[in-house]
Copies of this chain bind each other. A is one copy, B any other.
């Protein structure tokens, strides 16, 4: 599925022929995290995203009641075009459906939030290896002592992902990811994990630990798990997200997100 167009891939998902994770599909196209909230919570969540653009970079936000992401994939339908969803009621996971036909109501707003796949592609093209790819695991993620800027009921710590690299790659990693603010942008921290409240790199809160070799520098980026973690803590009456790894594939080419 690497060489499918986003339209072809979403058609396959919509028909029920595919319900797996999306890593590696539609090479070169932007994938996005999904969060759906009822109108009553949508304003403060949008405010939260505006105040925390590194954790919650918005790719697209739908009109109230519309499941069509008109800026990023006008031919798509967010009720059917992701392989798997998660439904949370008052912060508790209650269902993991493959479409939202029985859940969608006309007061819902869908948020598409940038994901690190896009900036990892850019790092790899610049010769900076990704240790979690080499080791065949998920990227390690950590809760930090850095608070997000609250908005209404939404608040809590920033979650970061960590990628170790040789000291000679750090400056280039900052330059390359600065070009892509809508997929988390530049790192939020370089070096000593304790500065941001991380005690032990070998014990991530989400994902898997990776090897950090002697002389390597850990580099930390704001992570798309932050808004989900914050939203779960706020316990909205209803919230729907993608299932982990089962993202929405947009029509946008990754390079189109580069600000320069």
Give the B-binding residues of A (Cβ under 8 A): 39, 42-44, 46-47, 50-51, 58, 61, 63-64, 70-71, 149, 151-152, 175, 178-179, 181, 185-186, 259-260
19 new A-B contacts, CB < 8 A, other than A46-B46, A46-B47, A63-B152, are A39-B43, A42-B43, A43-B43, A43-B64, A46-B50, A50-B50, A50-B61, A51-B71, A63-B151, A70-B149, A175-B260, A178-B259, A178-B260, A181-B181, A181-B259, A185-B259, A186-B260, A259-B259, A260-B260
In the complex, chain B residues whose CB is within 8 Å of the CB of A178: 259-260
CA distance A46 to B51 in the complex (A): 12
CA distance A61 to B44 in the complex (A): 11
CA distance A16 to B219 in the complex (A): 49
Q: Can you show 21 pairs from A to B with CB atoms below 8 A apart?
A: A42-B43, A43-B43, A43-B46, A46-B50, A47-B61, A47-B63, A50-B50, A50-B58, A50-B61, A51-B61, A51-B71, A64-B152, A70-B149, A175-B260, A178-B259, A179-B260, A181-B181, A181-B259, A185-B259, A186-B260, A259-B259
Tell which of A61, A175, A185 has the most Cβ of chain B within 10 Å: A61
In the complex, chain B residues whose CB is within 8 Å of the CB of A186: 260
In the complex, chain B residues whose CB is within 8 Å of the CB of A42: 43
CA distance A185 to B149 in the complex (A): 24
CA distance A44 to B65 in the complex (A): 13
CA distance A26 to B48 in the complex (A): 30
Closest 8 CB pairs of A and B: A43-B43, A178-B260, A46-B46, A50-B61, A47-B61, A50-B58, A42-B43, A181-B259
> Please, which residue of chain B has its CB at the minimum distance from the CB of A39?
B43
In the complex, chain B residues whose CB is within 8 Å of the CB of A46: 43, 46-47, 50
Q: How far is the CB of A225 from chain B (nearest CB, A)?
A: 21
CA distance A47 to B151 in the complex (A): 16
CA distance A58 to B42 in the complex (A): 18
CA distance A91 to B42 in the complex (A): 26
CA distance A46 to B47 in the complex (A): 8
CA distance A149 to B178 in the complex (A): 26
Q: How far is the CB of A232 from chain B (nearest CB, A)?
A: 21
In the complex, chain B residues whose CB is within 8 Å of the CB of A44: 64
Q: How far is the CB of A136 from chain B (nearest CB, A)?
A: 33
CA distance A152 to B70 in the complex (A): 14
Q: How far is the CB of A77 from chain B (nearest CB, A)?
A: 19
